[in-house]
Structure 1
Amino acid sequence: MPNDPLGEIVVIGAGGHAKVVIECLRHAGWNVIGCTDADPTPRSCAGVPVIGTDDALGRLRSEGVANAFCALGANRLRERVGGKLQDLGFALPSYQGPGAIVSSTVRIGAGVAIMPGAVINIDTVIGDFAIINTNANVDHDGVLGRAVHVGPGAALAGEVVVGDRSFIATGCAVIPQRRIGADTIVGAGSVVVRDLPSGVIAFGNPARVQREL
């Protein structure tokens, strides 16, 4: 059952990721009043109206809407828009979707999406605007930077470090104590057994650098 009402919140984005975010926010007890999107065509997203482009955010803040959530899938864009929201004075709550299990010792930044069924274990640090997607697992003492995305079903073993804006795609496995640099993409189903540098695409079993970004 949803928690007690937490207040009004606006969601930035109106795509597939935003649909899941809206459902999770509602479950957590938020009243999602609308979405903004680059395409302002009147429509709904998960039953929530698209109320304009991001140009509407300043007006919404001045009208007393205090909370916002950036539901954009692209890591760099999510980080940039999240920073804009902070500059406008919005609070950026994080949430846990239904069935997520998060240790009380985990340190969670602003605007973090923890999707249904995710598991985050003891003494892990999650940076601002990160996404821990459906049924993903982050084991003990992990460190995930700003705007990281751990894809559905991915599993990070203990003491894994992931740099800012990196994407660990669906079904990846990372063995303990590996380090993945910033702005790196690890392709779906890959197995990371060695450290990966920043700014590369890597995939395979074992994951190997394929090219620089």
Structure 2
Amino acid sequence: MYLYGASGHGKVVAEVAEENGYHIIGFIDENLSKNKILDYQVFHELPLKNIDIIISIGNNKIRKNIADKNTLFNYVTLLHPNSLISKRADVKKGSVVMSGVSINSSVSIGKHCIINTNSSIDHDCFIEDFVHISPNATLGGNVFVGEGTHIGLGASVIQGIKIGRWCTIGAGAVIINDIPDGATVVGNPGRIIKVIEL
């Protein structure tokens, strides 16, 4: 398999792939100054074939742009063996679940999501495509997270909350009210400091 994105995040994704027994051919990155990462070669052009790949880039918009342009690749799903994932949860293609994550019953994780180290997602949450749940973030039950949203380090979302598309939830924020599309939220309790029009 290939990893698209030779960065720090890519190193972590590579190790999850190794833990799952994948043979990594190398990384793909457009930055010509990058030739090797970990023990793997960095290629600067996309292979012209149907390949197994995961997008190993943390930025949600860039991940979406790459996925939208490269629809014929076989996107794999990576689940760290030290994560706890309910047999009734669903994690879709292109997503990666890091070490120490807990995903409980009846959770749906969309395509190309990052569920990062030690985060916790409780029952019946629905996570749309291209979301990043940062390390140590916690979602109570029945939380909805819209496409492209980034939940920051250590943020907490109480049960039953709906967070819109392409939001940014700041590190350590405590979300006790629904959040509209495009909002940036910080603090405890969370307060909206800006909203971009989508």
TM-score, normalised relative to structure 2:
0.95
Unaligned runs of 5+ in 1: 1-8
Q: What amino acid does structure 2 have at the position aligned with 1:83?
A: D
CA distance in 2, matches of 1:83, 1:118: 27
Shift of 1:76: 1.2
User: 1:77 is matched with which residue: 62, 71, 78?
Assistant: 62
Q: Is the 8 A contact 1:96 1:113 kept in 2?
A: yes
Q: CA deviation at 1:42?
A: 4.7
Paired residue total: 196
Aligned to 1:48: 40
CA distance in structure 1 between the aligned counterparts of 2:37 and 2:181, rounded to whole angstroms: 35
SS in 1 for 2:189: coil
Q: Which residue of 2 aligns with 1:21?
A: 13
Give me the whole-angstrom Cα distance separating, in 1, the residues matched to 2:68 and 2:106.
26
Residue 79 of structure 2 is matched in structure 1 by 96
Structure-2 residue corresponding to 1:123: 106
What is the Cα deviation at residue 131 of structure 1?
A: 0.5
- Normalized per residue, the structure richer in helix is 1
Tell me the percent identity: 32
The two structures have a TM-score, normalised by structure 1, of 0.89
Does residue 113 (structure 1) correspond to residue 130 (structure 2)? The answer is no
| Alignment match, 2:194 | 211
**CA RMSD in angstroms, aligned pairs only:** 1.1
State which drifts further: 104-113 or 172-181: 104-113
1:198 equivalenced with 2:187 (yes/no): no
Secondary structure at the residue paired with 1:82?
helix
Gaps of 5+ in 2: none
Partner residue, 1:152: 135
Contact 1:125 1:141 in 2 (8 A): yes
